[in-house]
Amino acid sequence: MTTITLVQGDITRQSADAIVNAANSSLLGGGGVDGAIHRRGGPAILQECRALRASRYGKGLPTGQAVATTAGDLDARWVIHTVGPVYSQSEDRSDLLASCYRESLKAADELGARTVAFPAVSTGVYRWPMEDAARIAVETVRNTPTAVEEVCFVLFDERAYDAFARQVG
Ligand code: ADP
């Protein structure tokens, strides 16, 4: 059984085996969580991301997938980069958002990570409604078989924290 915990705060201040980044497909940095991870984690993360772009992910990391790098100066062993879908009112992209959590847990299992910290993927620049994103995140983690013992959702503000708390119950 995976234990789900909630923390309100900055994910770059968390300690975990793996910290998940709400990346974009370029893997070369951006705003929000991504910017914060690269700022605090230092240049080693970007260096590995560049190498991934030069090898396996020439066209970028597809939406819904996940890939791990070093965590640089963060208090973690790995950063798992996942690309959330941009929210759409005309198209249901829920399975892509669920896939971010499934694929990140799969990457964590391959690494042997036992504790994983997730942000609320897609709820920032990608505009996914918080309540729905929280439901998808919590349901997917609950329904994904994994050796990860603890998943910690790190929510930036009270609104996000409360939405996740309603789902965890
Ligand atoms: P996306 O592009 O997937 O929407 P963002 O990084 O823009 O990703 O936002 C995802 C969520 O992470 C938002 O709810 C945002 O408020 C939150 N967030 C932004 N910075 C941090 C941080 N340092 N730690 C934790 N959560 C953060």
What pLDDT band is residue 41 in, cutting at 50, 70 and 90?
A: very high
Query: For residue 164, is pLDDT > 90?
Result: yes
Each residue's pLDDT tens digit, 17-32: 999 999 999 999 999 9
Query: For residue 113, is pLDDT > 90?
Result: yes
The pLDDT assigned to 1 comes to: 86
What pLDDT band is residue 106 in, cutting at 50, 70 and 90?
A: very high
What secondary structure does DSSP assign to 109-166, as a single string?
Answer: HHHT-SEEEE--TTSSTT---HHHHHHHHHHHHHHS--S--EEEEEESSHHHHHHHHH
Closest protein CA for atom 23 of ligand 1: 10
Whole-angstrom Cα distance, residue 157 to residue 162?
Answer: 9
Q: Residues 34, 73, 109, 157: which is the catalytic one?
A: 34
H or E element: which one contains 74?
Answer: none
Average pLDDT over residues 124-148: 98
Q: Quick one: CA dihedral 6, 154, 156, 124, positive or negative?
A: negative
* Strand pairing report for 66-70 and 78-83: antiparallel
Query: For residue 33, is pLDDT > 90?
Result: yes
Each residue's pLDDT tens digit, 52-80: 999 999 999 999 999 999 999 999 999 99
Domains of the chain: 3-168 (3.40.220.10)
34 is catalytic: yes
Q: How far is the CA of 159 from the centre of ligand 1 (A)?
A: 13
Residues having CB within 6 Å of any atom of ligand 1: 10-12, 22, 31-34, 36, 84, 119-126, 154, 156, 160
